[in-house]
Amino acid sequence: MCRSIQQLRGAEPPATDDEVRDAALQYVRKISGYRTPSVANQAVFDAAVDAIAASTRDLLDGLVVGAGSRPADPVQRRLARRAEAAHLS
């Protein structure tokens, strides 16, 4: 969708509130088509950024990231499947 939005899940150190807000701002800019909204649209634009940042923080805080998570890399997923199959044999 927007290449400047970075994955924040599992970040080390964890994503800061500023990083979460920056991602929300990029998202709202992308879907609204406004880099800088007009004065008439500023309040609704800012409210959307705040709401999305809050939802994003809730999401990141609620996700379980650990040993059971799926590797992002397809090669790593394939190796994990092979290891699991060997273990079950």
pTM, entire model:
0.68
Residue 88's alpha-carbon distances to 3, 69, 81, 83, 84, in angstroms, are 40, 19, 11, 9, 6
pLDDT band at 2 (very low <50, low <70, confident <90, very high): low
pLDDT band at 76 (very low <50, low <70, confident <90, very high): confident
Handedness of CA 27, 28, 29, 35 (dihedral sign): negative
Which tens digit of pLDDT belongs to each residue from 22-74? 999 999 999 999 999 999 999 999 999 999 999 999 999 998 877 565 556 76
